[in-house]
Chains A and B, each alone.
Chain A
Amino acid sequence: MAKASADSPAVLRGRHDFPEISGRIGSIVLNGRLPRHFWTAFFLCFLLVLLLLYSITYLIAVGVGAYGIDIPVAWGTMISNFVWWIGIGHAGTLISAVLLLLRQPWRASINRFAEAMTLFAVAMAGLFPILHLGRPWFFYWLLPLPNVHMHWPQWRSPLVWDFAAIATYATVSLLFWYMGLLPDLAVLRDRARSRPAQLFYGILALGWRGSAYHWSRYTIVYFLIAALATPLVVSVHSIVSLDFTFAITPGYHSTIFPPYFVAGALLSGFAMVLTIAIPLRWAFSIEDLITLRHMDNAAKLMIAAGMVVAYGYVSEAFFAWYSGEPYERAMMAQRALGPYSPLFWTMLSLNCGVLQLLWFRRVRRNMPLLFAIAIAINIGMWIERYIIVVTGPSRDYLPTSWGEQSLTWLDFGILFGSIGTFFALVFLFIRILPAITIFEVEELAEEEGKVR
């Protein structure tokens, strides 16, 4: 067990006893008396859910041209939203799986909501490639189903790999999350007083009773699934990047993409973790469970991932020049100086500039400032995805048909709609399931000798 050094804040603050831990975490769910601003925020998110439903209906009724894509730029915000959301999901898996493998004690109180964040982000991400198809009702053609068309998917296409990767990632994340929830659902089952709540949590808990025999198998399998999820995360975002690199389009065709995308995923993912965790710990007064140490470590991981992303930017530009290929060079020059240059420089100043503030401990421990930086990185990473998707095809090999993608209200309707839906799901999750892993915090309290 890593001991917190003198100047770094503890993983768990204060002394606790077991009934207090399970009671405090459980009561958020069971009493259902959530502050008024919780429901106000949920209502605002719900309006965005309606916006998403409206936008999707409009998109399907009118067609994909409605959101501003046209030849030469046939990939627009649907693809950048997809890459952005999937990246956000990755930090959740990293926190829960990799930190479990590395036996990092600070993981215990944030892994649950990080995993939930993964699930909801993947659910959002999964929408976009399907909407992008133009005829979303044929998406199942990507599956090798026996059907009357007599066709098989094109196994050599990264788009089919992508489908396999996302489907696997969503399923494994769900299993891992549910498995972690089992013991906590049993706690809620026994604490619940109303019959419907007892039935709801009781059925979901599958009759978990904490037997020593069960725990011994449970911990081994949980560890193994974490070990499986780690290469899975890396493979998923690498495959996402192959969607681009398999094309010879300038700006897409680059070998740096897989690691660069994975690092970008972690950067935006940790930014989203902070975006959720900072208001969460404040609103529910759980600053002693999710401590400054967690925030500090997440900020440090952000800067580590951010430096790899910065290396990716440099490498992209260098190899565009080094290739000696006029169109690669032209694309890179146009990216920095052409019609997308305001976005490009905004992206650089956010992802490479603002990020550097995190080198300072005082900034990392200042919650409002850290929150603002996290929001800035979220925006910067979305712009990065958009730039990668759009600038390549807009400056293709045929200068006569150079052109730009126009952003329409529908682009933003779907983007903000998906953000609202994501947060609405997070709110429902906080209301219905324990947002902090009860059994792991209790184990941590026991190991650290912080039991009263």
Chain B
Amino acid sequence: MSLYGLMAVFADPEALVEAARGMRERGYRHMDAFSPFPMKELDEILEIPPTRLPWAVLAGGIAGAALVYTLIWYSVEIDYPINVGGRPLHSWPPFVVIAFEAGILGAALAGFLGMLAANGLPRYYHPIFNAERFTYARGGRFYLLVEADDPKYRKGVTKGQLTRLGAEIVEEVEA
């Protein structure tokens, strides 16, 4: 059994933010935090890079609209042209309606699937679930994980630092 990292438990969100900041100042980089609701402050402290998912959403939207518009255009101009009293085959205004809906669908699918892919979900096994204290359910606990592969990681030292930063319990997490 190898060690995955150290997990510190905090009683309230402010304590978690303080501890994350403190550990960062001490030079730790391989950290993750777990909270029952989103906490904006952590993004900056953990230096979470801004996500590129909005671009995926835009691309999905454009792709959906373009694909469906092309399909319609192909069907009326090439595959099955019907001349009705000389009206234009490529009458774009009604086609835009369906292309718009397809664009929304493409964007939403790209956003949802992109979020799952970027987060590596579904992932039913993760070392953090091995920690006895880790329970997402209670809601009243906030966790900071320092990974063992962090260059600054020294078993005894890190544990002491976490405790001094106000951790209620520090637990070793096995991989």
Contact = CB atoms under 8 A, between A and B. Distances in A.
Given A211-B34, A231-B104, 8 more contacts: A18-B36, A152-B75, A155-B76, A178-B112, A191-B137, A235-B97, A443-B37, A446-B13
B146 to A, nearest CB: 13
B114 interface: yes
Interface in A16-40: 17-19, 21-22, 26
B48 A155 contact: no
A86 to B, nearest CB: 14
Contact of B33 (A168, A202, A212): A212
B94 A26 contact: no
B111 A216 contact: no
20 contacts: A18-B139, A164-B97, A164-B101, A165-B101, A168-B105, A172-B105, A183-B37, A209-B34, A209-B136, A211-B32, A213-B32, A215-B38, A216-B42, A217-B115, A221-B51, A229-B108, A235-B97, A235-B104, A440-B37, A446-B37
Interface residues of A, number: 64
A172 B139 contact: no
A321 interface: no
Interface in A426-450: 438-440, 442-443, 446
Chain B contact patch, size range: 35 or more
Interface of A: 17-19, 21-22, 26, 144, 150-152, 155-156, 160-161, 164-165, 167-168, 171-172, 175-176, 178-179, 183, 186-191, 202-203, 206-221, 224-225, 228-229, 231-232, 235, 239, 438-440, 442-443, 446, 451
Nearest to A214: B119
B118 interface: yes
B51 A220 contact: yes
Contacts of B160: none
A224 B138 contact: no
A440 B38 CA distance: 9
A239 B107 CA distance: 20
B82 to A, nearest CB: 10
Contact of B140 (A19, A167, A168, A443): A19
Contacts of B79: 152
